[in-house]
Amino acid sequence: LGLLGDLRRALDAGDVELHYQPKVRFDGHVAGLEALVRWVHPDRGRVPPDEFIAIAESSGLMPHLTEYVLDTALAQVAKWRSQGLFVPVAVNVSPRDVHTPGFAGSVAARLARHGVPPGSLQLEITEHVLLEDPQRAADTLAGLTDHGVKMSLDDFGTGYSSLVHLRRLPVSELKIDRSFVARLAVDNEDAEIVRCTVDLAHSLGLLVVAEGVEDDETWERLRDLGCDAVQGWLVAAAMPPQETTAWLRARG
């Protein structure tokens, strides 16, 4: 399969793009943007991220992809800041990244190189970071947090979530997976799961973001349940950089 080689070349050529999806509070304030990687293959067209991220993970290319995404996102944050747009950006990192020696230092160096304050970067991790070496992962993440980088726990509810694991991770935000959010307005069990998750997160001092919000009714239910912010097609899908700039400006 030539896809791996093609991906490597695309990264070297700068042909892999980032799109940005807003996270907004219920008062309309833009809490941040999530960077989502996009690759259009010259012959195959759009390759789904899940597909090429799996390839990058199994081939050892993942650290390189993550460095590329961090540099691209931080360059964009710096550009937006120079234009008077001060919005934090969240980058997804894979469990393997967190276990790569020197990861925390590499993130700090990149922030410095791009002149971006650590508080403008958020890293989205999943509970899977705790599968390999929980203590080491927690130490790396604590190092990043001490430096001022914000940590967000992604896809919450889909893994082996437990209070013990949650307590171990120095995160300031929890994202409820869209599989629980999608049918929130019509399914009582999902509504109860979301309610409990919001309460649990708040009792631990975390902000809660709901993913995959597609309609007004879900938005209203989430607001009533005390959720802090939402992300989803109701607000905006992931947009290319220029469109994101226009979207941010239109928001004021």
Q: Please report, as a single letter, which amino acid is at residue 236.
A: A
* Beta carbon of residue 197, minimum distance to Na ion (angstroms, whole number): 16
Q: Give the span between the Cα atoms of 251 and 204, in whole angstroms.
A: 31
Q: Give the span between the Cα atoms of 170 and 90, in whole angstroms.
A: 16
In the list 6, 97, 124, 177, the residue contacting Na ion (rule: CB under 5 A) is 124
Task: Say which residues have a Cβ less than 8 Å from residue 251's Cβ, sequence separation at least 6.
Answer: 28, 30
The β-bridge relationship of strands 30-41 and 16-25 is antiparallel
Residues of this chain, 97-156, that bind ligand G according to CB under 6 A: 154-155
Task: Give the footprint of Mn ion on this chain (CB under 5 A).
Answer: 154-155
In the list 76, 92, 140, 244, the residue contacting ligand G (rule: CB under 6 A) is 92
Helix (H) / strand (E) element for 185: namely none
Asked if 36 interacts with ligand G (CB under 6 A), we say: yes
Nearer to ligand G among residue 49 and residue 170 (C-beta): 49
* Beta carbon of residue 1, minimum distance to Na ion (angstroms, whole number): 26
Q: Token pair 């800041």 is at which residue? A: 81
Nearer to ligand G among residue 36 and residue 248 (C-beta): 36
Write the interaction track for ligand G spanning residues 211-230; mark x where CB under 6 A is met and - where it is not.
xxxx----------------
